[in-house]
Amino acid sequence: MQEAFLRVWKHAPKWDVSRNVRFTTWFYRVVMNLSIDVKRKRKPSQAIDNGFDMVSSEPIADQKLSDKQMAAKLADALDKLPERQRLATNLCYFQGLGNKQASEVLEVSVGAIESLLVRARAKLADLLKDQRQEFLKENMS
């Protein structure tokens, strides 16, 4: 985040108010570009083995573990999406941006964002179909 604010400070004169682009949209784009740069430079990491973690016998702990496992499976599925679909999904569903704002951040049309989201949801549904059945079984009992 510090790097993002430094970039905004350094490049503030380049921000063109007359283009009718909000500052938040421009700032999201700066953060997005930095995130992409960091991800490209990062070496693939191996998952940490949780084999030595103690698990409580309480139902609440089991549910928390199940939730963590589902979150990990979702994160893994999101990582398997093509980059533009993953970015659109993150902006719209996790960052709470509307399609118009997300389209400005990614510098594509609103229709392109909607198309990216449709394809991302279809791909996620395919990747998570086994987990969906598991989830339904767990929550029906």
What domains are defined for the chain?
A: 1-12+20-39 (no CATH), 59-141 (1.10.10.10)
Q: What is the mean pLDDT of residues 115-132?
A: 89
The pLDDT-based confidence of 69 (bands split at 50, 70, 90) is confident
- Given a cut of 80, is residue 102 above it in pLDDT? yes
Residue 61 CA to residue 46 CA, distance in Å, equals 25
Residue 120 CA to residue 40 CA, distance in Å, equals 21
- Given a cut of 70, is residue 52 above it in pLDDT? no
CB-based contact 34:3 (threshold 8 Å): yes
Residue 118, pLDDT score = 96
Amino acid making up residue 63 = Q
Q: What is the mean pLDDT of residues 58-70?
A: 68
Residue 127 CA to residue 76 CA, distance in Å, equals 9
- Given a cut of 70, is residue 22 above it in pLDDT? yes
**Least trusted range by pLDDT, from 7-16, 43-52, 109-118, 122-131:** 43-52
Q: What is the mean pLDDT of residues 99-114?
A: 93
The pLDDT-based confidence of 72 (bands split at 50, 70, 90) is confident
The pLDDT-based confidence of 138 (bands split at 50, 70, 90) is low
Mean pLDDT for all residues in the chain: 80
Q: Taking the complete model, does pTM exceed 0.75, yes or no?
A: no
SS3 state of residue 36: helix
The Cα angle at residue 48 between residues 44 and 53, in degrees rounded to 5 = 170
